[in-house]
Amino acid sequence: METNEKTKPKRVVIKPGDVFCTEFDNRFKCYFQFIVKDSESLYGAVIRVFKTHYPIDYVPVIADIVRDDVAFITHTFIRFGLWDNVWYKVGKSLDTGAYALDNVVFGLAQEDRFTADNKLEKVNPLENWWVWKVNQPHIEIGRLPEKYHDIIEPGDVFSYNTIRERMEYGYNKFAAPEYEIIKRRPRPEVDSYIKYMHEGATYYYHFKGEYVVREVVTTGNEAVRLTPDKPVSGRYHLYTRQFGDLDQYRIAFITAEEFNQVWTSDNSIANTN
């Protein structure tokens, strides 16, 4: 069944299979589908978010939407997004993709743990993972085995703003212990701007998708510009690892304007090597 996207009833019945749309200004729209409630995660809704960004004037064809590749599966409270007009229901499908949940493991890395005598202690969260599948009990597993690394999803019940951020960028900007294992993967078309300080130098990165396309290294009154075409200047080399490999606790997300101000600064010197 399909409905007019502009219809926003005051009270919307929410059932598994329902498909919802969220719009990003006048740029594009994105869809997700409610799969099931998870009794092990505050009865949050498990949703699958589809990968395609559709034109803002796209008229939804539900059968096509649910055949799309899935960007990620996560938890949220759908009703809150409806109340604040963040997303709206556009239809439903009997195809919920629930079979895919067999291959999804949710996890949380916790810094608090109870000892054998029931005392609370602080621990390395990467040594204290809890994992579970939908509607199955949480299992304390210690260090996360490698077999889970490619299928684990953060187990929090996320706010609608956090869901929208990942829809738009492919990742969330906040730091969390889980992201030491769950590598953040930007969408290929996304521009990300990062500031990183290390050993007296400040590094400014412009990522396009997974990789740096421009880098500025500043030390005192001098700055060096690096690009894939000119990746080396003296002792500085262009950052060539993937976005998710950055130390999440030592970076700051900055705006394009802030990066470009440094890139075009008079004290920046082009790489002439």
Rounded to whole angstroms, the Cα distance separating 215 from 246 reads 14
- Give the pLDDT confidence score for residue 268 in this predicted structure: 52
104 touches 73 (CB < 8 A)? yes
Rounded to whole angstroms, the Cα distance separating 263 from 194 reads 13
pLDDT in tens, 207-228: 999 999 999 999 987 899 999 9
- Give the pLDDT confidence score for residue 3 in this predicted structure: 47
* Dihedral over Cα of 97, 130, 164, 249: its sign: negative
pLDDT tier at 1 (50, 70, 90 boundaries)? very low
pLDDT tier at 6 (50, 70, 90 boundaries)? very low
Mean pLDDT, residues 233-256: 94
Closest of 7, 113, 18, 28 to residue 62, by C-alpha: 18
pLDDT in tens, 14-72: 999 999 999 999 999 999 999 999 998 888 999 999 999 999 999 999 999 999 999 99
Give the whole-number percent of the chain exceeding pLDDT 90.
79
- Other CB atoms within 10 A of residue 72 CB: 19
The answer on pLDDT for 120 being more than 70 is yes
The answer on pLDDT for 256 being more than 90 is yes
Pairing label, strands 18-24, 129-132: unpaired
pLDDT in tens, 32-44: 999 999 998 888 9
Mean pLDDT, residues 124-132: 94
- Give the pLDDT confidence score for residue 267 in this predicted structure: 61
Residue linked to tokens 């004290």: 267
Mean pLDDT, residues 260-269: 80
Cα–Cα–Cα angle for 160, 155, 187, rounded to 5 degrees: 60
Mean pLDDT, residues 248-259: 95
pLDDT tier at 117 (50, 70, 90 boundaries)? confident
- Give the pLDDT confidence score for residue 272 in this predicted structure: 40
What is the three-class DSSP state of 196? strand
pLDDT in tens, 141-181: 999 999 999 889 999 999 999 999 999 999 999 999 999 99
Phi-psi bin for 199: left (phi > 0), alpha (psi -120 to 50), beta?
A: left
Mean pLDDT, residues 193-202: 92
Reported residue count of the chain is 273
